[in-house]
């Protein structure tokens, strides 16, 4: 799992496609997911990618890469929560009962919204 978005050699359906077709597919899917705010539609895109990976005998490598992308998304989400301090505070990452630093890292509604949109 040390590689992400690297070419995987093989003789499946996707390997036989023209490179421009694959690039166009990635561009179209990327734009569609960026412009979409509907969770069911995003889940449908994810299922489409998984079905195509299954058809191309690439499901295992795609799932491994999705795990790495998912971990990176979690880190981005946490960084966003830590760096958007203004807004309606709904809690804090450090519990209030801890002496000297309790309640020092606020979590705001706006940070959760921005983090959700970015990931």
Element (H, E) at 89: strand 89-92
Q: What is the pLDDT of residue 51?
A: 93
Does a structural domain hold residue 15?
A: yes
pLDDT in tens, 99-110: 887 777 788 888
* Residue, of 83 and 48, whose pLDDT is higher: 48
Does a structural domain hold residue 115?
A: no
Range of the domain at 36: 1-66
CA dist 49 and 5 (Å) reads 14
Helices 59-83 & 39-55 angle (0-180, nearest 10): 150
Q: What is the pLDDT of residue 110?
A: 85
pLDDT in tens, 12-22: 777 888 989 98
Looking at the structure of the chain, the number of domains it has is: 1
Does a structural domain hold residue 43?
A: yes
Closest CA to 119 of 86, 72, 87: 72
């Amino acid at each position: 799992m040390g590689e992400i978005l690297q070419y995987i050699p093989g003789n499946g359906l996707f390997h036989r496609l023209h490179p421009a077709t694959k690039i166009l597919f990635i561009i179209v899917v990327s734009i569609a997911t960026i412009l979409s705010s509907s969770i069911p539609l995003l889940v449908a895109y994810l299922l489409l990618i998984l079905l195509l990976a299954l058809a191309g005998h690439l499901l295992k490598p795609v799932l491994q890469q999705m795990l790495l992308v998912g971990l990176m998304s979690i880190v981005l989400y946490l960084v966003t929560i830590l760096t958007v301090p203004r807004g309606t505070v709904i809690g804090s990452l450090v519990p209030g009962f801890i002496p000297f630093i309790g309640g020092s890292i606020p979590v705001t509604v706006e940070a959760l919204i921005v983090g959700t949109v970015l990931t």
